[in-house]
Chains A and B, each alone.
Chain A
């Protein structure tokens, strides 16, 4: 399986570390909503098809990546930096948008 890192280009999966399901939403750390925490820890979509995942290019540039992988074929249909999301979110915040 090859993952095309947006920085490094196509690399063997051995260079990457799986960081978990990319669909999860972590509750606010102060939240005492046990259902939300239970869902965060245990609930998985487990699709037979495209799946949102977080991977780290741990044996390369070490960037965290948003990967869409097909669980039936291992086809990777999209790879993007996770940091891009944060950077644009921070910029939106700085510019006074939501």
Chain B
């Protein structure tokens, strides 16, 4: 496969930035999954789709809105009723799902080239994200593995919590650089490191 270019590249500056004299409180990076797919079940077929997700990824989705989990390589979360986002470090997820998600269960949309996944981590991650999104980032309201669909300045974002102070944000690839710049600016006052 050809090397996929990052849309963040011209603005991706590895190192410490902003007000980091007293320590870095934010880590920013691009997770660059090999595959990102969205799956949608027809009404009533949700359980079959969740079973298909388990077959392909080995991840057993919890019931409930926005439920999800990650094993560090593959991640899955619900972002709408009967709809799920799945990411994998490896390529080929769409082809794997096409074999098990039959047309009577639902649909598979390959977004591997359409989304950029940005990871924000560190003790101030919740605090920085609260500047962008009007949702509750506290751990009891937004548990590890869970996903949220929301928007920043009318631009969609899907957020999965992948650690107690770590979030993976999926944004449109064409908006990713602008969002990345905004995230860097918002992190300046607490000191951030790009890895």
Contact = CB atoms under 8 A, between A and B. Distances in A.
Contacts of A83: 43, 81
Interface of A: 6-9, 11-12, 14-15, 59-63, 81, 83, 86-87, 90-91
B150 interface: yes
A61 B151 CA distance: 10
A52 B4 CA distance: 49
Contact of B65 (A8, A11, A12): A8
A91 B151 CA distance: 34
B43 A11 contact: no
Given A59-B156, A60-B149, A83-B43, A11 B135 contact: yes
Contact of B80 (A7, A15, A87, A91): A7
Interface residues of B, number: 18
A10 B163 CA distance: 23
A14 B133 CA distance: 11
A7 B81 contact: yes
Interface in B115-149: 134-136, 141, 148-149
Interface of B: 43-44, 65-66, 79-81, 83, 134-136, 141, 148-151, 154, 156
Contacts of A60: 80, 149-151
B98 to A, nearest CB: 23
18 contacts: A8-B148, A8-B149, A9-B141, A11-B134, A11-B135, A11-B150, A15-B150, A59-B154, A60-B149, A60-B150, A60-B151, A62-B80, A63-B81, A81-B81, A83-B43, A83-B81, A87-B43, A90-B43
B48 to A, nearest CB: 16
Contacts of A14: 134
A8 B66 contact: yes
A57 to B, nearest CB: 8
B154 A7 contact: no
Nearest to A6: B65
Contacts of A15: 134, 150-151
Contacts of A87: 43-44
A76 to B, nearest CB: 16
